[in-house]
Structure 1
Amino acid sequence: MKIRRVPVLLATLVALASSACAASDPRRPEAGSGTPAEPTDTPSAAAGTEVASAAPRLAVTHDGGVSVVDARTGEVLAEEALEGYLRVSPAGDGRHALVSTTGGWEVLDLGSWTDEHGDHGHHWTSTPGLTGARFEAAEPGHVVAHDGLTTLFDDGTGTITSFDTTALGSDGPEVTTTSTEEAHHGVAVRLANGNLLTTDGDEESRSGVRLLGPSGVVMAQTDACPGVHGEAFAQDVAVLGCEDGAVVVDGREITKVTSPDPYGRIGNQAGSEVSPILLGDYKTDPDAELERPTRVSLIDTRTGTLRLVDLGTSYSFRSLGRGPDGEALVLGTDGALHVLDERTGAVERRIDVVGRWKEPLDWQQPRPTLHVVGTTAYVTEPRRDRLHVVDLDRGRVTSTLDLPHTPDEVVANAG
């Protein structure tokens, strides 16, 4: 595995005008070439305006583009047109999001952030919108922000790109690129100590997990994770899902946690910085066109044990989240947000949020989606073109925002 460290401006390239023009601009350097384009005057570089309080904002994808919305008032602050099926992920710095689109990840500035100064913070806003910067990819896949680093995985080539998260809005982070031996639907995360955790597989199958040192030397590995998919951290311990359980990566030690069923797939996870227990989905029918499970999994990374909890309602892969104290959150098709004690599996309360819904067969079709920031949960309701704001401390919906488009994926910041 070859590793390159390349100083670039914001990404593997920066668009010279709009992202649409950049797609055919012959002056644009090849991804990873180390030749940065000229700087542009983007929202990320513009000076902000200090405001009296935090201004939380939302990035909401829809058919035809992405909107930036004021999370308090519902005012649409920016509309960006983008083609293709769009996905959105937090960049990890509390200000930017990465939008997966044709040809790579576009950098979206939400235009609000807070500079912390010990016992207080200074709140800032600026004009939101696409910055013109993008990370090129044949098939942009998973985005992982952890330990102050952001790592991108290109399913089409196996290329892994990582950079200092806090440098995203500056003159340009140093980008580290490497690649897996074969392209596959994978995930990777660069750690603060320079190590790289990555999946291993090919277009036909994937079952490997590797921990590589800064020079690319294999420090630990396993091939005992069939269908490896997804990643999340329980405190500082990584967990990756398998079709028969999960693997836990703690330091240089990789431990297999086996499902109680021969096929017990965990493919989507939600971790917490304050809890050693990971929340995951759980499916048992390998032949189902679409399985609608009612059980979730709780993996204790300290003991390597797995607990199953039956909610009595199904959910989707966009239903999992974590509360500020590590509580497990699951948005059910019964319309309620189920709050679980992750240590015991007990359902502590149900918060009614949306109407009853059914998961569509096509995974790219909108369905109610959960995104959590601190003590606030944001839940979309595509059937009504709405988004609900839930106060987790008070256990109720505090506001409902009407949206101009049918929402698909959503990412929020704290402002």
Structure 2
Amino acid sequence: MNLRTPPAAVAALALLLLAGCGSAPTPQDPLPDTSDSASADAGHGAIAGASEVAEPQLHLVAIDADGETSMLDLLTGTESQLGKISPPEDVRTDGRYIFAADSTGVEIVDSGAWTWDHVDHFHYYRAEPKNLGKVAGEGTATIATGMLSTAGTTGMFFPTSGEAVLLDNSALSAGTLSETLRFKTESHAGLIAPLGEGAVVTEADSTGKAARLRAIDANGKELAVAECPAAAGTVTTRVGLAIGCADGAVIATTEGTAPVFEKVPYPAAAAAPATEFNGRKGRPTVAGISSDAGVWLLNTRQRTWDWLPTPAPVLAAVTVDDQDDHLVVVGADGTVQVYDASTKKLIAATKPLIGATMADPALAGKVQLTVDGQRAYVNAPAEGLAFEIDYADDARVARTLELPTKPVHLLETGR
């Protein structure tokens, strides 16, 4: 039984798949360029062995402290065991792949569910999940993903060795780990993020901190530079690539094949800078986590910052960036809060949901929040649960989900 989408909507989506590609993309929000955009666009994200379906194949992937990995189909309730990986220290997703990083590299699990974003419509696919192997590296990598899982590249920066790696997404979709670029920089807490046919990579200053951004082509040749003191946090939106700096953010886009850097400074008397960004996939406005009690809102389309104060510090925040400007936050009190980002008013909040997790210092930092177009999900590692929140319905707890493995790490795929 479909627990999320009414039959009429499924029918509409099926008609959309048939009508599909007749409409031109919306010019104000083109997809960021990818190295394989022409060939990948011809297949609209399809790969051999995958089935195109009428609606998003949304799943929750849970990884426990030992690396046991499982998946829950949010549409049918079907549970799957995905096997064991090395216990990860950090986990990221591009909406299809799970990138699980530890001190020796990044292990990659294909969830077998993804969405191809064609701007004015979408294509949805599912295939068999599988473990694809490990990209070796020294130090827990910073992962930076693009908009499309079957085109372009994924960036991995290994801080101990200072190695920057670009992984070919097209090859990854065929089950092959293929590095299009690997080169060594100074050891530092840096990043490499896909941009056009190349990438943006950090450069360290004399103190060993990321302080400068270099746009490079597919062969590693430097094309442009920008100052970005204490560079940390990156996200790709429809508009382009955003990277946080101590004094604001740099938004990187391309004009033809030429990279363009644009600085978006913080307003005067700003709160502490954002060091991590999160938002609903593809949307232009993203939430930035700060050490102060509140959330930064970066609109990458309008090149503006806004500060939304909260009663207490937050553990996680994600912009839905929908018509009602929903912002979902997990507070340090264990509640899930929903704000109107345009008015900065609190709309609703749950009761404390993750008390046992918050009481365990080793797990409190593992709380993760993800949103899609209908629901938000937050993990409770100590409780062994995940909560599905209907953020548009007064932060109602729609479901309390028991996953096959304890969700020390929780991600949503199929988006």
User: Do they superpose with TM above 0.5?
Assistant: yes
Matches within 5 A, 1:335-414: 335-352=334-351, 354-355=353-354, 367-394=366-393, 395-403=395-403, 405-414=405-414
For residues 166 and 343 of structure 1, what CA distance do their matches in structure 2 show?
38
For residues 250 and 263 of structure 1, what CA distance do their matches in structure 2 show?
26
Partner of 2:144: 144
Helix, strand or coil for the counterpart of 2:160?
coil
User: What is the aligned counterpart of 1:254 among 256, 262, 273?
Assistant: 262
Report deviation, 1:170: 0.8
Helix, strand or coil for the counterpart of 1:309?
strand
Helix, strand or coil for the counterpart of 2:141?
strand
Question: CA separation of 1:208/1:121 partners in 2, compared to 1, >3 Å: closer, same or farther?
Answer: closer
TM-score (norm: length of structure 1):
0.72
Confirm whether residue 58 of structure 1 aligns to residue 55 of structure 2. Answer: no
Structure 1 counterpart of 2:231, one-letter code: V
Deviates more, 1:264-273 or 1:339-348: 339-348
Report deviation, 1:214: 4.1
Aligned residues: percent identity? 21
- Cα deviation 1:257-315 (Å, max 9, x = unaligned): 136458822101124566543321223xxxxxxxxx32111234456543222111321
Report deviation, 1:358: 7.8
Contact 1:61 1:410 in 2 (8 A): yes
For residues 211 and 221 of structure 2, what CA distance do their matches in structure 1 show?
19
Structure 1 counterpart of 2:105, one-letter code: G
Matches within 5 A, 1:288-307: 293-301=292-300, 304-307=303-306
Contact 2:57 2:124 in 1 (8 A): no
Unaligned runs of 5+ in 2: 1-46, 255-259
User: What is the aligned counterpart of 1:323 among 305, 308, 320?
Assistant: 320
Report deviation, 1:182: 0.8
Unaligned runs of 5+ in 1: 1-44, 284-292
Confirm whether residue 159 of structure 1 aligns to residue 160 of structure 2. Answer: no
- Cα deviation 1:114-136 (Å, max 9, x = unaligned): 6899989675453x4423x2211
Contact 2:70 2:404 in 1 (8 A): no
Report deviation, 1:381: 1.4
- Cα deviation 1:68-122 (Å, max 9, x = unaligned): 12143766421533444432221x3x43212213421112132445689998967
Helix, strand or coil for the counterpart of 1:168?
helix
Question: CA separation of 1:250/1:191 partners in 2, compared to 1, >3 Å: closer, same or farther?
Answer: closer
Helix, strand or coil for the counterpart of 1:264?
coil
Question: CA separation of 1:356/1:238 partners in 2, compared to 1, >3 Å: closer, same or farther?
Answer: same
Partner of 2:273: 265
For residues 60 and 52 of structure 1, what CA distance do their matches in structure 2 show?
25
Question: CA separation of 1:344/1:218 partners in 2, compared to 1, >3 Å: closer, same or farther?
Answer: farther
Structure 2 counterpart of 1:233, one-letter code: T
User: What is the aligned counterpart of 2:80 among 71, 77, 82?
Assistant: 77
For residues 365 and 65 of structure 1, what CA distance do their matches in structure 2 show?
18
Helix, strand or coil for the counterpart of 2:382?
helix
For residues 354 and 223 of structure 2, what CA distance do their matches in structure 1 show?
49
Matches within 5 A, 1:204-283: 204-223=208-227, 225-251=228-254, 252-258=260-266, 260-261=268-269, 264-271=272-279, 275-283=283-291
Partner of 2:195: 191
For residues 354 and 162 of structure 2, what CA distance do their matches in structure 1 show?
40
For residues 80 and 366 of structure 1, what CA distance do their matches in structure 2 show?
24
Report deviation, 1:320: 1.9
Contact 1:243 1:263 in 2 (8 A): no
Two-structure CA RMSD over aligned residues (Å): 3.6
